[in-house]
Amino acid sequence: MTASSVPPKVGIVMGSRSDWDTMQHAAQKLEQLGVPHEVRVVSAHRTPDVLFEYASSAQSRGLRAIIAGAGGAAHLPGMLASKTAVPVLGVPVQSKALNGMDSLLSIVQMPAGIPVATFAIGNAGAANAALFAAAMLAFDDPSVAAALAEFRQRQTDDVAGNDDPRR
Kindly state the smallest distance separating residue 146's Cβ from ligand RP5, in Å: 34
CB-wise, 124 or 146, nearer to ligand RP5? 124
The reply to whether 60 sits in an annotated binding site is no
Binding stretches for ligand RP5 (CB under 6 A)? 14-16, 18-19, 43, 70-72, 93
Kindly state the smallest distance separating residue 115's Cβ from ligand RP5, in Å: 20
Kindly state the smallest distance separating residue 94's Cβ from ligand RP5, in Å: 9
CB-wise, 36 or 43, nearer to ligand RP5? 43
CB-wise, 20 or 151, nearer to ligand RP5? 20
Distance CA 142, CA 136 (A): 12
CB-wise, 46 or 61, nearer to ligand RP5? 46
Kindly state the smallest distance separating residue 19's Cβ from ligand RP5, in Å: 5
CB-wise, 17 or 154, nearer to ligand RP5? 17
Nearest to 70 by CA among 54, 36, 34, 46: 46
In SS3 terms, 53-119 reads as HHHHHHCCCCCCEEEEEEECCCCHHHHHHHCCCCCEEEEEECCCCCCCHHHHHHHHCCCCCCCCEEC
What contacts 51, CB < 8 A, 6 or more positions away? 42, 43, 44, 76, 79, 80, 83
List the 65-71 sheet strands across, edge first.
37-41, 10-14, 65-71, 88-93, 117-118
The reply to whether 16 sits in an annotated binding site is yes
Kindly state the smallest distance separating residue 71's Cβ from ligand RP5, in Å: 3
Binding residues for substrate: 16, 19, 46
Binding residues: 16, 19, 46
